[in-house]
Structure 1
Amino acid sequence: PLAVMAIIPFGFVGAVLGHYVMGYNLTIISMIGLLGLSGILVNDSIVLVSRIRERILGGDSLEQAAIGGAADRLRAVLLTSLTTIGGLLPLIFETSRQAQFLIPMALTLVFGLATATVLVLVLVPSLIGIGGDVARIFGRRGRDAVGGAPELSEPDQGPAAAPAE
C-alpha cells in the first residue's frame, strides 16, 4: 500500500506547478481534479504492483520482477495517462466563457499526470525493491514483503487432512 500511495504527492506537486505555470489559481474544481488524479495514479500503481507480484510468485527475483514488471506495464500506464492528457488538452486552451470554470480541473489532471506517470514507472518499483530489502534485513521473506502469501514449511493440518474413521 505504501508504494501505491507514495506517488500521489508527486502528482499533487505537478498539479500545483501546472497552475502556477499557466497562471491559474487553485479552485474547488482543481481540488476535485486532485481526487480524479489520485484515482488514476493509484490505478496505474496497482496495475504495476500486481504485475511485479505475479512475476515474484512466478519465480523471478525481486530485482528482476521490479524491472520486468515496469517494462511489462509501461504501455498500459503510458497509454492511460497519454489518452487522458490528450483528451483534456483542448479544454485547457478553450476560450469560451462556458469552459473557463473547467480549465483548473483539466490543468490539475494534465500536469499531475505528466509529472507522476514517469515517476510511477520508476518510483513504485524502487519502493517495492526497498521494501524487499528492508524485509530481508528484518528477517521476512521477499515474497511476503510484496504481498505474496508466505511459504508454509509444512502442509496445512486442518480438518480436511485428518484421516477418515
Structure 2
Amino acid sequence: MPEKPRRTPAQALWDAVRKTPEKAPTPGSMVRDLFGETRRGTPNTRAAAAQLGVSARTVQRWIKQGMPKKSEAADGLAQQHRTWLGSVAGRRARLSTRRESRLRNKGTQMVFYGTVRISSDQRKRGTTVTVGPERMGLILDASLAGDDTTALSQLEGAFGDAFGGSVQLPEIDQLDTFG
C-alpha cells in the first residue's frame, strides 16, 4: 500500500484552523469555485468552457458524469482548482465566517503531537496549548493572507508562551483544535 503523503506544518495548521474535513472536490464544485454561478445558481459552464477550450456541453457532462481520466482540459481544470485552493481567495472561501469569528473572539485550545525543540531538547511530544484570541487573530490573518511562514511563527510563539521560552515545531504529526 502506498504511503500517504506527509502534510507540511502549514497544511496541518490550516486544517486545524478550518476544522472541517476537506472533501475531494467534485467537477461542479471546481467550476463553481473558479468560474462562479449563473443567475439560476448553477455552475457557470459557459465561462469554464471558454477558459478550458471545450464546449459548454462537455463541462456539463463532466459535472453530471464525472471527469474523464485522460483529458488535457479536465487536468487543466483540476490543476487550476488546486492552485485556487492555496490562494487567498480559496482560503477565504473555505473558512466559514462563523468559525473565523469564534476563533478571533474566544481563541482556542490546540492539541499538538509532533516533534518539538525546546532549547537543546528535541523529541516527540503531545500537549494541549491554549491560544488566546489576539494570537489566534494573528495566526488567522497570516493564514488567510497566504503567509504560512508568519502563521507558523505565531503558532510557535503561542507554544513558547505556554512553555515559557522559545519553541520550534519542525514536524507536526497531528494538530487539532477544540471549539
TM over 0.5, yes or no? Answer: no
Higher strand share: 2
TM-score for the superposition, normalised by structure 2: 0.29
Higher helix share: 1
Structure label with greater radius of gyration: 1
Bigger relative CO (Cα 8 Å, ≥ 6 apart) = 1
